[in-house]
């Protein structure tokens, strides 16, 4: 996101925060969040994709909202929220014709027939759920499969190209130009995480009662749309329901966070981006020492870029009375790998822990012949980290990066268990604690940083070669 977009959205958030009537603020927040899905969507060469991707985000959100809405709740509220979302879709369609040429060019809505069909999908769901409320369960299963399916397509280069080719064929474009970047769907990853969390908790009976409007505001919340953090619905809605108008202290803290985020992203991260490790640079560099510089630069660039965006999201959310969870807590100063993953992209790790790691460990340990704890932890940590790797993209590099961390976590887990008694005796010495602390921080930082080699270089052979060169090979 460009600085100007960030400042415009922060200004809009500030305006919303000043609204005295809570219901008016909530309504405006829903409308702005839905509109931001379109406004933030980057242009893509695929015809109509700039309109369809945001529209599909809204359709999926409405479907999930309809599925999880309490059966006893009156339909009136759901219709009001759905009506507002439909109005945003139609308004975007109309705006394209009203604005001067070039404005919101990426949106380019399709013909009216397709637009009506898009609105008809949730309408059909409403009809189905009103007539047969029990159909919500299999409808939920379909949406889960759909979300995971879209996810797999977007993260897989070959599938992306296949879908892009098909889309191009349908819209009369050259299939020769099909490319994975055609399918740039802003915020889908984070939207999918939120929707899956809502559906899975609903199926498990853990989800509190959520109106469609609340659910849609949670899923499409504009400060966190493009880069998280991934809040939990029950926590978000608590803030949404009670959020008072913004106070001067909120505004000051929000301003501080946004400014901090802008400096992190646009000053520090963008400067480091010029010297980071990437495939071409790794090929050209002449000595291992420079590779270390580029690798350190990448490590810090990634942190400042991502945490900068998180600061902006948290600050902007604060302006409308929502306290988004923290995503980073000094990750490079953590004494071990477990602590690192408890402080790096925390909301993503929590999500995977809640919906992958914990259920898997429970399953393995509660079988008629339970797995031994170390084996279950090994499978759980390796599976968790490989899955997090695949979330970044379906490729061998990300699998290896995930395995690197999975194995690291397992080794650290076993080492901690083994040295618990020996370690406590040593660490009780006055000289030992700071030494062990600093050593742990350095070791963890370098383990993580070396792992980024697999992350940033898409060719595993090149990554292995770079790792060799870093150590004089």
- Interface positions with other proteins (CB under 8 A): 247-253, 271, 274-275, 280-281, 284-287, 290, 293-294
Structure tokens that stand for 446 in this block: 């370098």
- Which is nearest to 313 in space by CA: 253, 242, 261, 240? 261
Whole-number Å distance between alpha carbons of 191 and 227: 10
Residue closer to other proteins, measured from CB, 253 or 326: 253
- The contacts of residue 167 (CB under 8 Å, 6+ apart) are 46, 47, 49, 173, 182
CB of 395 to other proteins, least distance (A): 22
φ, ψ of residue 200 in degrees (nearest 5): -65, -40
Q: How many residues does the chain have?
A: 473
Residue closer to other proteins, measured from CB, 151 or 298: 298
CB of 284 to other proteins, least distance (A): 4
Residue closer to other proteins, measured from CB, 136 or 322: 322
CB of 92 to other proteins, least distance (A): 33
- The contacts of residue 431 (CB under 8 Å, 6+ apart) are none
Phi-psi region of 328 (alpha: psi -120 to 50; beta: other; left: phi over 0): beta
The SS3 assignment for 308 reads: helix
Q: How many CA atoms lie within 13 A of 184 on its CB side?
A: 15
CB of 249 to other proteins, least distance (A): 4
Residue closer to other proteins, measured from CB, 247 or 427: 247
Cβ burial, residue 239 (10 Å; 0-12/13-18/19+) = middle
CB of 276 to other proteins, least distance (A): 10
CB of 275 to other proteins, least distance (A): 5
Residue closer to other proteins, measured from CB, 4 or 280: 280
CB of 122 to other proteins, least distance (A): 40
CB of 289 to other proteins, least distance (A): 8
Distances (CA, A) of 406 to 401, 450, 459, 461: 9, 14, 20, 20
Residue closer to other proteins, measured from CB, 5 or 271: 271
Q: Are 284 and 304 in contact (CB under 8 A)?
A: no
Whole-number Å distance between alpha carbons of 49 and 178: 13
The SS3 assignment for 305 reads: helix
CB of 287 to other proteins, least distance (A): 7
Q: Are 313 and 333 in contact (CB under 8 A)?
A: no
Structure tokens that stand for 195 in this block: 């929707």
Residue closer to other proteins, measured from CB, 263 or 364: 263
CB of 387 to other proteins, least distance (A): 32
Whole-number Å distance between alpha carbons of 211 and 193: 19
Whole-number Å distance between alpha carbons of 454 and 456: 6
Q: Are 6 and 312 in contact (CB under 8 A)?
A: yes
Residue closer to other proteins, measured from CB, 256 or 367: 256
Residue closer to other proteins, measured from CB, 91 or 293: 293
Residue closer to other proteins, measured from CB, 119 or 263: 263
Looking at residue 103, the DSSP 8-state letter turns out to be T
Buried b (16+ CB within 10 A) or exposed e, 11-20: ebbbebbebe
Helices 136-155 and 112-131 sit at what angle, rounded to 10 degrees? 140
CB of 466 to other proteins, least distance (A): 13
Residue closer to other proteins, measured from CB, 252 or 414: 252
């Amino acid at each position: 996101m460009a600085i100007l977009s960030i400042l415009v959205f922060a200004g809009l958030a500030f305006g919303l925060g000043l609204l005295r009537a809570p219901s008016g603020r909530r309504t405006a927040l829903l409308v702005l969040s839905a509109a931001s899905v379109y406004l933030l969507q980057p242009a893509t060469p695929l015809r109509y994709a700039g309109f369809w991707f945001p529209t599909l985000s809204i359709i999926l959100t409405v479907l999930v909202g309809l599925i999880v809405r309490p059966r006893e709740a009156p339909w009136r509220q759901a219709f009001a929220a759905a009506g507002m979302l439909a109005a945003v879709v139609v308004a975007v369609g109309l705006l394209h014709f009203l604005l001067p040429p070039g404005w919101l060019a990426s949106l380019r809505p399709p013909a009216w027939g397709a637009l009506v069909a898009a609105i008809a999908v949730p309408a059909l769901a409403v009809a189905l759920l009103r007539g047969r409320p029990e159909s919500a369960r299999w409808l939920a299963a379909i949406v889960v499969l759909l979300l995971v399916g879209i996810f797999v397509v977007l993260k897989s280069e070959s599938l992306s190209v296949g879908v892009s080719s098909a889309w191009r064929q349908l819209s009369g474009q050259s299939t020769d130009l099909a490319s994975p970047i055609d399918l740039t769907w802003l915020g889908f990853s984070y939207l999918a995480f939120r929707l899956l969390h809502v559906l899975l908790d609903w199926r498990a009976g853990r989800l509190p009662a959520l109106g469609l409007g609340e659910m849609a505001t949670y899923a499409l919340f504009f400060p966190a749309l493009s880069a998280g953090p991934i809040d939990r619905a029950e926590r978000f809605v608590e803030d949404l329901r009670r959020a008072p108008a913004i106070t001067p202290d909120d505004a000051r803290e929000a301003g501080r966070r946004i400014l901090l985020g802008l400096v992190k992203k646009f000053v520090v991260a963008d400067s480091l981006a010029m010297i980071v490790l990437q495939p071409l640079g790794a090929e050209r560099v002449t000595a291992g020492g420079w590779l270390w510089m580029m690798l350190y630069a990448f490590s810090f660039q990634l942190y400042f870029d991502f945490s900068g965006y998180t600061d902006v999201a948290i600050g902007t959310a604060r302006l409308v009375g929502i306290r988004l969870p923290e995503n980073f807590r000094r990750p490079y100063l953590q004494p071990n790998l477990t602590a690192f993953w408890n402080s790096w992209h925390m909301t993503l790790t929590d999500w995977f822990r809640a919906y992958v790691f914990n259920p898997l460990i429970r399953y393995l340990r509660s079988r008629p012949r339970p797995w031994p704890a170390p084996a279950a932890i090994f499978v759980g940590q390796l599976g968790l980290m490989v899955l997090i790797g695949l979330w970044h993209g379906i490729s061998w590099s990300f699998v290896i990066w995930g395995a690197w961390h999975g194995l690291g976590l397992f080794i650290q887990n076993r080492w901690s268990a083994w040295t618990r008694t020996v370690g406590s005796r040593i660490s009780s010495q006055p000289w030992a604690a700071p030494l062990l602390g600093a050593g742990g921080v350095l070791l963890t930082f370098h383990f993580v940083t070396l792992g980024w080699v697999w992350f940033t270089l898409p060719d595993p052979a090149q990554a292995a070669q770079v790792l060799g060169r870093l150590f004089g090979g």
